[in-house]
A and B are shown apart, each in its own frame.
Chain A
Amino acid sequence: DIVMTQSPESLAVSLGERATINCKSSQSVFYISNSKNYLAWYQQKPGQPPKLLIYWASTRESGVPDRFSGSGSGTDFTLTISSLQAEDVAVYYCQQYYSTPWTFGQGTKVEIK
């Protein structure tokens, strides 16, 4: 199984500042045949189901604000919120869909400082 490890477990960022979440996979999720990283990011607000933010490691889902961006390749990935807004308070999860079982990181809680 591919183990996904996120860091930090939580972070507090001032409004308007940058938030950076890291995700590391225990093996590469890069598929050479199509040059794609099989990595997604989700946002879960309290009492709500998760919501897809990013897939293919860096492609924003339709309707997701452009302050959210994803980067990285192979085994190391980053989700960046360029200017934190109050509505971004949530837990963020990375997930690999390279091979079953599809696995999630343990989550990173983002709060306002």
Chain B
Amino acid sequence: QVQLVQSGSELKKPGASVKVSCKASGYMFTNYAMNWVRQAPGQGLEWMGWINTNTGNPTYAQGFTGRFVLSLDTSVSTAYLQISSLKAEDTAVYYCVRHTAVAGSGWFDSWGQGTLVTVSS
């Protein structure tokens, strides 16, 4: 069955960087795009961007450019989210989410378990 397994919780100081991984299994990794969604404490869902797993081309939502980088390692069916120059307001749960197409429109049919990133001095 489809599984997305994310790396564990992180506690970082302001200004540091973090890299969250998302390992996919149970399907052909390059047949489906991977999205990332942020959920701040007690808040709703915010789409951050997605990456075409065929071409490696990322697309970022407004507000998630510059400090946020989406990448892949297709040899191990893993997607990554790296956030640099962390701020307190980056504290959130980050989800990787499979998209029902490699590119273009599609719904989100499988979600990782989420990775809590806490930014605190």
Interface segment, one of A16-24, A76-84, A98-106: A98-106
Answer whether residue B109 sits at the interface, using C-beta atoms and an 8 A cutoff. Answer: yes
Closest to A59 in B: B107
B contact patch SS: loop
Given A49-B114, A93-B44, A106-B44: A101 touches B62 (CB 8 Å cut-off): yes
- With a cutoff of 8 Å between Cβ atoms, the chain A residues found around residue B10 in the complex are none
In-complex Cβ contact of B47 among A38, A44, A98, A104 (8 A): A104
- B46 adjacent to A104 (CB under 8 Å): yes
Within 8 A of B (CB), among A12-49: 38, 40, 42, 44, 49
In-complex Cβ contact of B105 among A52, A97, A105, A107 (8 A): A97
- A95 adjacent to B107 (CB under 8 Å): yes
- B45 adjacent to A100 (CB under 8 Å): no
- With a cutoff of 8 Å between Cβ atoms, the chain B residues found around residue A99 in the complex are 105
Answer whether residue A67 sits at the interface, using C-beta atoms and an 8 A cutoff. Answer: no
Distance A84 CA – B118 CA, assembled complex (angstroms): 35
**Min CB–CB distance B39 → chain A (angstroms):** 9
- With a cutoff of 8 Å between Cβ atoms, the chain B residues found around residue A61 in the complex are 109
Distance A101 CA – B38 CA, assembled complex (angstroms): 13
**A residues whose Cβ falls under 8 Å from a Cβ of B:** 1, 38, 40, 42, 44, 49-52, 55, 61, 93, 95, 97-107
**B residues whose Cβ falls under 8 Å from a Cβ of A:** 35, 44-47, 59, 61-62, 95, 100, 105-114
The 9 closest A-B pairs by CB, nearest first: A49-B111, A40-B107, A55-B107, A101-B61, A104-B45, A102-B47, A107-B44, A97-B105, A106-B44
